[in-house]
Amino acid sequence: ASLDAFIRTLPKAELHLHVEGTLEPELLFSLAKRNNVSTLPYADAAAAHAARASFSGLGDFLDKYYEGLSVLLKEQDYYDLCDAYMAHAASEGVVHAEIMFDPQAHLRRGIPFSTFFPGLQRAVADAPARHGLTACLLMCFMRDLGAESAAEVLQQAEPYKEHIAGVGLDSAENGYPPHLFVDVFNKAAAMGLRRMAHAGEEGGAENIWSALKDLQVDRIDHGVRCLDDPALVAHLEKSGTALTVCPLSNLCLQVYPGQIGEKLRSLLQDTKVRVTINSDDPAYFMHSESGGGYLLANYTYVTAVAGLDARQLAQLAINSFEASFLDAAAKKAHT
């Protein structure tokens, strides 16, 4: 508790955050009303909160996450969603946010790029003046929709590429290994985009190896399951490739059931892997004992389970800037 104020005032970057995962039940219902959407499977915000109280795993979570998106229809809806997240993040000491979005989750509902992207982009452009933070956008491909669909999305994103910092892979991990996306990632690299992949969350250490070797990613999203492979831990220590770890997401989605606290302690105290702390889907991964699901709660939780001190917390914040896609001058200014 004594470290709470320190964590809040520590300037931090958030590097693993899905804007769709910031849709709070209250905003869900206000957008449903504004857009005359009457198909939500919950009676009210309280019922939506209750549905988020527990998840059996990644698949169960993803079903609820995609379902809620039916209220996002207009450019302004995307602006409001992204802006609300940044307002909250700024209040917790986040000074830079790298915000992921899932184009396919909108395209497949008939919402075109020209609707959702300008909404997100306008919110990001307004963020320095409105909230005192910088932000950029990272486009994720849903692995379970395959490589061909990912290639189409990349093509559709071409006119907006100046406003996209990088690409990633998310959604179901098992059954959709990284190597399927080699061609798309090569194209993205040729377009000058940075690259990430969710790996070692639902799936094992082999997906982390493949994301590094086949996709040449700049950082690994999640990656906690590197702990199952000592050679991989050694490789990550040596290369300095950062992991964007999301403690409360891993807890709520039961990565390492019953052992996540000990695994995070081990990752942070027994290895030299470059770890950053992030919130993933803060409107879904609530932990009342840690004070919610946003970045502060993730730092609070990991501080408790891993026994971190102020010096280690400051190092995590420095890691978050160093692993960011900010340019060298901006990194230097923050660290």
CB of 325 to Zn ion, least distance (A): 16
If contact means CB under 5 to 8 A according to the sort of partner, which of Zn ion, ligand HPA, none does residue 201 touch?
ligand HPA
Q: Among residues 22, 104, 134, 171, which is the contact residue for ligand HPA, using CB under 6 A?
A: 171
Q: Which two tokens stand for residue 1?
A: 């508790």
Quick one: 20 or 280, whose CB is closer to Zn ion? 280
Site map (CB under 5 A) of Zn ion, residues 244-283, x = contact: ------------------------------------x---
CA-based R_g, the chain, Å: 18
Q: Is 324 in the site for ligand HPA (CB under 6 A)?
A: no
Residue 14 touches ligand HPA, criterion: CB under 6 A: no
**Binder of ligand HPA out of 10, 14, 21, 319 (CB under 6 A):** 21
Residue that the structure tokens 């997240």 belong to: 85
The distance of closest approach from Cβ of residue 281 to ligand HPA in the complex, given in angstroms and rounded to an integer, is 5
Mask 59-88, x = binds ligand HPA (CB under 6 A)? ------x-----------------------
The contacts of residue 46 (CB under 8 Å, 6+ apart) are 25
Smallest separation, CB 4 to ligand HPA (Å): 25
Q: Residue 281 Cβ, how far from Zn ion at the closest point, in Å?
A: 7
Please provide residue 272's backbone torsions phi and psi, each rounded to the nearest 5 degrees: -110, 20
Catalytic residues: 201
Question: Residue 171's binding partner, choosing from ligand HPA, Zn ion, none, with beta-carbon cut-off 5 to 8 A by kind?
Answer: ligand HPA
Q: Is 225 in the site for ligand HPA (CB under 6 A)?
A: no
Between 42 and 200, CB nearer to Zn ion: 200
Chain contacts with Zn ion (rule: CB under 5 A): 280
Chain contacts with ligand HPA (rule: CB under 6 A): 18, 21, 58, 65, 170-171, 198, 201, 249, 280-281
